[in-house]
């Protein structure tokens, strides 16, 4: 780990000496496998840590760590963004998490709509949606995006006696369903998965047990400090080395086997699993969290169904078929395999969502610079 | 939006807490956390909700876990060649 900040805060697992010891251990276990191996992490935050601390260069050459479908911004489907833009254009007050603002839909982003004068506000906590709706009479739509960790927050506000003018446009996704899609891809090189520790804080590590049995790939739940990522990778490579298909919890300070039952109960009370589109990847059975019928009076998709249907007919265009976000997020390609990468597609002029989000693989690779690209090119040759 | 932040509880009032995130304080909901939370506890927070009380002994356990991983015996390293991906059972 180069230049890792070494702080004494008890929650910052960034100690340089420990990091070096773990790096040495990772080299050792990878060497013991005696062949190249490919694993996938399923969380944009893992990629951020890997990039921020320059960890990718220090990984052993035989260990390929692929990015999976773990960026919630990247997998939010363009027609959903179009739909929320249509609501904003129709005069509805739209609330969104900040990282969705610049993501292009079929034609434009929520930020473009805001520049045109639409009422779009950024919130950082789900409870702000409640506060804002309570202080107004007019309809307020919360564009609810993200995985399990943000979905529980959306569910919680819907159980807090929300005012009748608060509507949720749910584009929440359920990650385990996407891991199955990746594991089922013919020719997938992925031998094991590093699962997102925060989603697993909610769902528990047990959720991966049937996945491991079905797809015969180990899953290691890992946290988000550099030392967590290193130790997660060590556990994963050890599983591969020993042909152990099991779930390992390498983030025990946050993740338990049953998970946060209280939060899960809230999630399941409000949402049910449905089939939903993951941008660039596929329509994923069980991959979308839909509001249950009981919450229909707060469901923006139902309340504004007519408006949304009209808008969908008007604006939906097929997404650019040259953007390779989908292949990148399923482990079949690297950002550097895309002809647009760093050329026509850059953070200031993104073509795909993967270049917009701070958790997007293309954006992270672009911003973390040439060494990674060079290494990727080298490893492919 | 996916970023969870650990912080330390500085004040609790009913189901709300003030949490210090490395110097920045924010109000957080305790509606989703599955254990009682008190001042001084560490919590993991996502979009305004605490989702986990991080017991301090588990912070020590994590450090022990890292130490154990780095120390782990190398008994496997001298074993037979590892199966190639083609040998591994796949569905
Ligand atoms: S570089 Fe741009 S166009 Fe290419 S895959 Fe990434 S986001 Fe899509």
Classify residue B35 as left (phi > 0), alpha (psi -120 to 50) or beta: beta
- Lowest mean pLDDT segment, chosen from A10-19, A32-41, A66-75, A291-300: A10-19
Bridge partners, residue A74, by sequence: none
Number of compact structural domains in chain A = 1
**What percent of chain A lies above the pLDDT cut of 90?**
54
Better pLDDT: B56 or A156? A156
pTM: 0.84
Ligand 1 atom index nearest CA of A353: 7
CATH code, domain with A118: 3.40.50.11740
Q: In this predicted structure, what is the pLDDT of residue A182?
A: 84
Distance A158 CA to ligand 1 centre (A): 36
Edge-to-edge, what's the strand order for the sheet holding A120-123?
A: A120-123, A93-97, A140-146, A166-172
- Number of helices (H), then strands (E), belonging to chain B: the values are 1, 5
- Residue A372 maps to a domain: no
Most confident stretch, A40-54, A225-239, A274-288, A309-323 = A225-239
Domain spans of chain B, in order of start: 5-77
What distances in angstroms separate CA A298 from CA A136, A146, B49, one per listed residue?
Answer: 15, 18, 21
> Which of A86, A62, A15, A166 shows the shortest CA–CA distance to A379?
A62
> Which of A315, A295, A302 shows the shortest CA–CA distance to A83?
A315
Contacts of A160 in chain B (CB under 8 A): 31
Distance A338 CA to ligand 1 centre (A): 6
- Residue A333 maps to a domain: no
> Which of A131, A192, A13, A48 shows the shortest CA–CA distance to B58?
A13
- Residue A339 maps to a domain: no
- Residue A16 maps to a domain: no
Q: Whose CA is nearest to atom 6 of ligand 1?
A: A362
Better pLDDT: B54 or B3? B54
Q: What is the DSSP string of A161-228?
A: ---TTEEEEEEEB-HHHHHHHHHHSTT-----EEEEHHHHHHH-GGGGHHHHHHH---EEEE-SSHHH
Contact flag B82-A24 (C-beta cutoff 8 Å): no
Residue with tokens 């083609």: B86
- Assigned fold of B5-77: SH3 type barrels. (2.30.30)
Is the complex ipTM higher than 0.90?
no
- Residue A348 maps to a domain: no
- The secondary structure of A17-53, three-state, reads HHHHHHHHHHHHHHHHHCCCEEEEECCHHHHHHHHHC
Contact flag B44-A227 (C-beta cutoff 8 Å): no
Confidence of residue A13 (pLDDT cuts 50, 70, 90): low
Q: In this predicted structure, what is the pLDDT of residue A370?
A: 46
- Residue A319 maps to a domain: no
Which range marks the domain in which residue A302 is found? 78-175+261-314
């Amino acid at each position: 780990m180069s230049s890792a900040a070494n702080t004494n805060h008890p929650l910052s697992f960034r100690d340089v000496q420990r990091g070096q010891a773990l790096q040495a251990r990772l080299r050792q276990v990878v060497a013991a496998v005696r062949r190249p191996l490919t694993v996938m992490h399923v969380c944009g935050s893992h990629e951020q840590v890997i990039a921020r601390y320059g960890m990718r260069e220090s990984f052993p050459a035989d260990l390929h760590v692929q990015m999976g479908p773990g960026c919630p911004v990247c997998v939010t489907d363009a027609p959903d963004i179009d739909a929320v833009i249509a609501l904003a254009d129709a005069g509805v007050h739209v609330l969104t998490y900040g990282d969705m603002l610049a993501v292009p839909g079929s034609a434009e982003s929520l930020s473009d709509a805001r520049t045109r004068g639409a009422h779009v506000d950024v919130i950082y906590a789900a409870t702000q949606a409640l506060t804002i709706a309570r202080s107004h009479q007019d309809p307020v739509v919360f564009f609810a995006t993200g995985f399990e960790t943000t979905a529980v927050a959306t569910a919680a506000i819907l159980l807090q006696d929300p005012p009748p003018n608060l509507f949720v446009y749910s584009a929440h996704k359920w990650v385990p369903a996407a891991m199955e899609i990746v594991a089922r891809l013919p020719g997938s090189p992925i031998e094991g998965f590093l699962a997102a520790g925060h989603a697993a804080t909610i769902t528990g590590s047990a959720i991966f047990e049937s996945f491991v049995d079905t797809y015969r790939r180990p899953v290691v739940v890992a946290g988000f400090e550099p030392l967590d990522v290193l130790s997660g990778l060590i556990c994963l490579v050890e599983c591969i080395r020993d042909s152990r298909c099991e779930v390992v919890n390498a983030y025990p300070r946050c993740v338990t086997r049953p998970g946060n039952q209280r939060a899960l109960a809230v999630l399941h009370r409000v949402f049910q699993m449905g089939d939903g589109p993951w941008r660039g990847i596929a329509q994923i059975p069980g991959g979308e969290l839909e509001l249950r019928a009981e919450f229909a009076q707060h469901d923006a998709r139902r309340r504004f169904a007519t408006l949304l249907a009209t808008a969908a007919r008007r604006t939906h265009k097929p997404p650019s078929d040259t953007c390779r976000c989908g292949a990148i997020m399923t482990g079949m390609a690297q950002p550097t395999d895309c002809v647009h990468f760093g050329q026509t597609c850059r953070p200031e002029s993104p073509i795909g969502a993967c270049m917009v989000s701070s958790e997007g693989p293309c954006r992270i690779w672009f911003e973390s610079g040439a060494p990674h690209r060079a290494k990727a090119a080298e490893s492919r040759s | 939006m996916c970023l969870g932040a650990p912080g330390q509880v500085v004040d609790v009032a009913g189901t709300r807490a003030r949490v210090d995130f490395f110097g920045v304080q924010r109000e957080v909901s305790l509606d989703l956390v599955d254990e009682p939370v008190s001042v001084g506890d560490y919590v993991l927070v996502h979009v305004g909700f605490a989702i986990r009380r991080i017991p301090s002994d588990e912070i020590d356990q994590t450090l022990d876990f890292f130490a154990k991983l780095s120390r782990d015996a190398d008994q496997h390293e001298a074993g037979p060649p590892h199966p190639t991906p083609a040998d591994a059972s796949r569905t």
